[in-house]
Amino acid sequence: MMLEMLRGKRMLFVGDSLNRGQYVSLLCLLHRAIPDGAKSFETVDSLSIFRAKNYDATIEFYWAPMLAESNSDDAVVHRVDDRVIRGAPMDKHSRFWQGAHILVFNSYLWWTAGDKIKILRGADNDLSKDIVEMKAAEAYRLVLYQVVRWLELNADPKNSRAFFVTASPTHTDSSAWGDETEGGNCYDQTTPIGDASYWGSTSREMLRVTEEVLATSRVPVGVVNITQLSEYRRDGHTQTYKKQWAEPTPEQRADPRSYADCTHWCLPGVADTWNELLYWKLFFPSNDQAL
């Protein structure tokens, strides 16, 4: 049904590795309904494209972890200690967003590395000058306003939809859910958190910024709120069961908690639920905005 609803359309996910995980989840949910000869997948630089040929549809992912241009824009080599973003313009990324019928944005994790972030002002490619520091939440607000302004200028509500997926929680400190084990985290967790009132380290300030900025948009932006339901899932992360960029040292292997990934999610898993929410918001909205 979803493939039929996507016939002749371009669906584009834009954001970081959490958004890419949701993108891969959606491909896993859909691809078995398509014969092998009628689908293809390719990645060129920051853009990945899945084609459902019989439906004349594409489902794509574009790597832009901070949405704005930054020194973390390489889709493979993006681990930098000192992140710098360009406040405006957004042309480097937004030119890839043009023509999408469905846009699914996210951006949160990369803004939480510290209290402040560096911003390059103006269009000069020289990162050595005109750099100012700004509180991370306010820089985040600035970038989200840029995204909203771009949508207002480029998205036609009559034939396109835009969504923003809220913050994906991490589970890096088990004391947050009452487990005082030294160095404890998501490693070896096999059950969800049972306390319905639980809230971990996700920044309420950043969530408030997201809500406030999106509320100013003159074109509808659907919010896919995945934060609270994912807060409970300390058991859903990839832990040590993921491809490692570097072989764990003997010391790390002796203490798997030291290299457990408590940020990203297993598939099948939590991201499939995010896509269930997106599916219903996309095709069965309450305000007659369905494509």
Let me know if 70 is a catalytic residue.
no
Q: Report d(CA 281, CA 2) in Å as an integer.
A: 12
Out of 93, 230, 264, 286, the active site residue is: 264
Out of 17, 25, 107, 230, the active site residue is: 17
Let me know if 17 is a catalytic residue.
yes
Instruction: Give the alpha-carbon dihedral of 7, 226, 238, 242, to 10 degrees.
Output: 40
Q: Report d(CA 104, CA 277) in Å as an integer.
A: 12
Provide the strand spans (E) within the chain.
10-15, 39-44, 47-52, 57-63, 84-86, 102-105, 116-120, 131-135, 161-165, 222-224, 237-239, 261-265
Out of 101, 217, 230, 261, the active site residue is: 261
CA 22 to chain centre: 8
Q: Residue 13 to residues 22, 59, 150, 188: CA-CA distances in angstroms?
A: 9, 8, 16, 31
Let me know if 78 is a catalytic residue.
no
Would you say 226 and 151 are in contact if contact means Cβ atoms under 8 Å apart? Answer: no
Q: Residue 206 belongs to what H/E stretch? A: helix 204-214
Q: Provide the pairing of β-strand 161-165 with 102-105.
A: parallel
Closest CA to 276 of 98, 3, 26, 21: 26
- Known catalytic residues are 17, 261, 264
